[in-house]
Amino acid sequence: MKFISKIFNKHCHFTLIALLSIGWTGFAQKTEKIYLSGKDFKNPVQWDFMCTDGHNSNTWTTINVPSNWELEGFGEYTYGRWYKELDQQEPSKEEGFYKYKFNIPANYKGKNVTIVFGGAMTDTEVKINGKSAGDIHQGGFYEFKYDITSLLNYGTENLLEVHVSKHSSNHTVNNAERKTDWWLFGGIYRPVWLNVAPNSNIKNVAVDAKMDGSLSADLELVNIPKNSTIEANISPIGSDEKFPSITVDIIHKDQLQTIKAKWNGIKTWDPESPNLYTLSLSLKNKGKTIHTSKTKIGFRTLEFLKKDGIYVNGKKIVMKGINRHEIWPESGRSTDKDISVLDVNLIKDMNMNAVRFHYPPATHFLEVCDSLGLFVLNELAGWQNPYDTKVGSKLIKETVQRDVNHPSVIIWDHGNEGGWNYETDHLFHKYDPQNRIVIHPWSDFDGWDTHHYPTYLTGMHRFNNGENVFFPTEFMHGTYDNGIGAGLDDFWTRYSKSPLFAGGFMWAMLDEAVLRTDWKGEQKYDSKGNLAADGVLGPHREKEGSFFTVKEVWSPIQFKPKQITSTFDGSFLITNTYIYTNLNSCTLEYRVLKADNDVIYNSNKAEVIAQNPIKITDIPPGETRKINFDLPNIFFKGDWLEITATDKHGREIYTWSWPIHRAPYFANKFIKTEKENSKVSISQIANKVALTSEELNVELDSKTGEITKITNKTGDVPFINGPRPVGMKAEVETIKTEQFKDSVVCTVNYSGGIDHIRWTMHGDGRLKMKAVLLKNAGRSSGFDGAFIQGEISQFGLTFDFPENGVKSIKWLGNGPYRVWKNRLKGATMGLWEKDYNKTITGESFENLVYPEFKGYHANMLVANLKTEHGNLKFFSESDKLFLRLFTPDLPQKAVSKVFPQPEFPEGNISFMYEIPGMRAFKSLEDQGPESQPTSIRIKSGDQGIPMTLWFDFRNN
């Protein structure tokens, strides 16, 4: 192993000399950034390494840097709830020892050399050539640095030694970072590099760039000669536009200086138009440039008005946000810019404009937020426990100085849910010339109410009678398939009515499952059961159904409800919910789609029979106006209409859809009819009623009214034991059979919740069920009107069918994701098809297939369930009918009490008018109206609720 390390270090030695020599020759006046590690986990550099405990411990070997050592096969995995749900005595406390050799060219002598660590968990001691670089750094989420100019051997080899303790010697650091609801890792997980600058340099820049083009910059200067000046230039990123340079005299020798400048004609930064500039500050003396510092900035003005709201560039903002952990399954907290780009695009794709963390993220994530456009709440770690004043003061300085110039960062979060230290609040403003507000997430603090997980009816000073600006920094908790989209529409509609509402942040973006390098067998990824399975996305960013619900609910274009009928004239009312953008900069396009008559039987797809852009005139933010398009002559020959909106950057906002016809039209169009065969008969013997044709035989139990047997030409079709009532009671009273020339009819009359069900079999084997529910029901004295079982969260008819052997389903209706009563948005009208899967949302990480197969599907019009027992085809003449496909499997790995899903009705395949809502962390009673059970009242004279279905069980 020593031989291998020696060879590797020799290789690094020559590489670094080459890099340093080339770098210094070309860029003498700039700060050079020379990596000692890899730039990210995908491009690491190996260092010598030894871990003291756990897997592969007490042996010197090599490790990739950057990385979390658990994901490299060292130490032990620990989740931060070790002291609570996991009931462990203490977390793992292994330590890691790193060594790395590098060379510094002789011509670097006289320069200023700083070693920078992007992040290391948790206590980090650094030595150069056996000498301490400075105090041990405590805090695992922060960038820290040491001036090592005097410790280096110039023109020869240097030894870097790093000692990282996963468990801090400071109990407040452990309480803030390691008694938490997240994964605890160890190691140097962000890059390590050298900053090489001239002896006289601009050490630090903190900018306040306003929307009017004015700029103030606090500078920290080192070794400044007399009569020096600062020359300031701005260059727009992505444009060749030129701006004049501005020169400012340095009027005194103080280390800290403030300069001011102003440019005309700048473009402001906001999430909808994230215009960025490169600010170049050149330190000059006697006409010679000594050092140049470059910083990306955005011009924007922040105003925080208590009892009013948060303003950016003069516009009151509403943040549509989500909380994000920085994590990747195969690398832990060690990520790269590609992941940041992926994640910011996914957030933007959900029509969000904001993101929040529990600790400062990697710099590249903030850079992407700057360039693509997101508001950021940047947080000092402290999950329910604060840092002490000494450590917390250092970490606030590191956080603010690193991130102060990012225009995306608009608020500083000081800890989370009690993890703040009042003694250090003021330090954020000490280092931040923009004076961003400091909030205490989940508390009502200093005029800013960030109450976590408020109920729908939250009030009592917080909302109804509140006076503080309200923006819950956590709400809509998304464990498994809970929350996130479920109930969001209700919450958002109510909260948005308040002029004090400034938005909210859902918990959370990701299921934080990580690769267990210490596990053998089929299971590879671990989310500690329900503790970290909180996301709207899977660990590799797989999209759950709520992703699309959020995308529709938070779309900046909102369509007023509309039903297409024969009077449809191509017009809609739409509302602009952007903050800054006029909708005339967006594009709309409509498409009319039509499916072939036999599409449900064959592999055909729908085709677009008409499409054109829709002109959008002037619609400013907050306005509701009419749009319209000229209906093509063939419009009503189509089956459904789609309208897609695209923003000014080319990103899809959403695609909405509407059926052009009602359910009977689709049933009549798509069910296959054959030449009627007169050989159809009906018989009743004992308790059995048989409907028989050459294609199909159906047997009903005359006592229960349920199907007991179905047989076609190839054998039994096990679609039986139904229809059984769901959400009501019913008993058979009488049965009547009728014989017609080309059909037979069996009418089952009930007492209770079902009035009657009329079964019709045609000579070609088609089977029709026409049920009338809740019509003067309860006429039988045996029920006394109590045929409804309390409040109704489930209502319909159900059947049995074996799940074993199911292959796929193809259907026309809303999809492709399953729905809950309070999560109907995000599923759109279309022709969909998906294979059978047993995905458990937030748990099936080894084979996470979305959309899930099992569950409720909205507005089922026609469907073909393909199975080993034959294909079952359903056709609805009733609009807004839910198809229940089996019961989703319950999670198996929960470590604390959870409510993963509502109870499903009996049976396996159901046709429902009412389905339950999904809870969002709080109980359903604490959510909005769409989450509540239905109340049904039946009065004399009511005609009842019809449900008409066709079944095709023929062998075709």
Say how far apart CA 24 and CA 34 lie, in whole Å: 10
Q: Do 318 and 503 form a contact (C-beta atoms < 8 A)?
A: yes
Q: Which of these, 88, 175, 928, lies nearest to 497 by C-alpha position?
A: 928
Residue 700, beta-bridge partner list: 689, 707
Exposed, middle or buried by CB within 10 Å (0-12, 13-18, 19+), for 238? exposed
Q: Which of these, 433, 388, 390, 434, lies nearest to 415 by C-alpha position?
A: 388
* Cα torsion 694, 698, 699, 700: sign: negative
Angle between helices 488-495 and 545-553 (to 10 degrees): 20
Residue 32, beta-bridge partner list: 196
Q: Which residues contact 890 (CB under 8 A, 6 or more apart)?
A: 840, 900, 901
Say how far apart CA 523 and CA 541 lie, in whole Å: 19
Q: Do 65 and 119 form a contact (C-beta atoms < 8 A)?
A: no
Q: Which two tokens stand for residue 604?
A: 């055909």
Q: Which of these, 449, 406, 402, lies nearest to 271 by C-alpha position?
A: 406
Q: Which two tokens stand for residue 516?
A: 């267990």
Q: Which residues contact 801 (CB under 8 A, 6 or more apart)?
A: 718, 719, 720, 872, 907, 908, 909
Say how far apart CA 483 and CA 149 lie, in whole Å: 53
Q: Which of these, 154, 159, 166, 101, lies nearest to 127 by C-alpha position?
A: 159
Task: Give the long-range contacts of residues 836-839, CB within 8 A, separation 24 or more.
Answer: 836/806, 836/807, 836/808, 836/809, 838/889
Residue 377, beta-bridge partner list: 356, 411
Tokens 């340095």 found at: 250
Q: Which of these, 216, 232, 333, lies nearest to 280 by C-alpha position?
A: 232
Q: Do 80 and 179 form a contact (C-beta atoms < 8 A)?
A: yes
Q: How far is CA 855 from CA 186, 836, 858, 930, in A?
A: 40, 12, 10, 18
Q: Which residues contact 649 (CB under 8 A, 6 or more apart)?
A: none
Encoded amino acid at 41, one letter: F
Say how far apart CA 220 and CA 257 lie, in whole Å: 6
Say how far apart CA 907 and CA 797 lie, in whole Å: 9
Say how far apart CA 864 and CA 514 lie, in whole Å: 38
Torsion angles phi and psi, residue 173, rounded to 5: -65, -45
For residue 503, the surrounding DSSP H or E stretch is: strand 503-506
Task: Label residues 26-57 b or e (16+ Cβ within 10 Å = b).
Answer: eeeebbbebebbbbbbbebbbbbbbbeebbbe
Say how far apart CA 328 and CA 749 lie, in whole Å: 59
* Cα torsion 552, 556, 561, 562: sign: negative
Say how far apart CA 277 and CA 231 lie, in whole Å: 16
Q: Which of these, 748, 834, 837, 831, lies nearest to 797 by C-alpha position?
A: 748
In this structure, the strands spanning 624-628 and 571-576 are antiparallel
Say how far apart CA 57 and CA 708 lie, in whole Å: 65
Say how far apart CA 791 and CA 924 lie, in whole Å: 13
pTM for the whole structure? 0.95
Q: Which of these, 571, 641, 653, lies nearest to 611 by C-alpha position?
A: 641
Encoded amino acid at 552, one letter: E
Torsion angles phi and psi, residue 119, rounded to 5: 170, 135
Average pLDDT, 10 consecutive residues per value, the chain (956 residues): 30 37 49 97 98 98 98 97 87 96 96 98 98 98 98 97 98 97 98 97 98 98 94 97 95 86 98 98 95 98 97 98 98 98 98 98 98 98 98 98 98 98 98 98 96 90 84 96 96 95 98 97 95 97 98 98 97 98 98 97 95 96 97 98 98 98 98 84 96 96 98 96 96 96 96 96 96 72 57 95 98 98 98 98 96 98 96 98 98 90 97 96 93 86 93 91
Cα dihedral 58→63→65→67 (10° resolution)? -80
Q: Do 898 and 480 form a contact (C-beta atoms < 8 A)?
A: yes
**pLDDT of the residue at 86:** 85
Say how far apart CA 516 and CA 511 lie, in whole Å: 15
Say how far apart CA 771 and CA 723 lie, in whole Å: 10
- Could you tell me how far CA 311 lies from the centroid of its own chain? 25
Q: How far is CA 211 from CA 55, 215, 266, 649, in A?
A: 54, 9, 8, 22
**pLDDT of the residue at 3:** 28
Q: Which of these, 597, 525, 589, lies nearest to 557 by C-alpha position?
A: 589
Q: Which of these, 152, 104, 110, lies nearest to 127 by C-alpha position?
A: 152
Q: Torsion-angle region of residue 3: left (phi > 0), alpha (psi -120 to 50) or beta?
A: alpha
Say how far apart CA 358 and CA 326 lie, in whole Å: 9
Say how far apart CA 166 and CA 122 lie, in whole Å: 5
In this structure, the strands spanning 319-323 and 354-356 are parallel
For residue 624, the surrounding DSSP H or E stretch is: strand 624-628
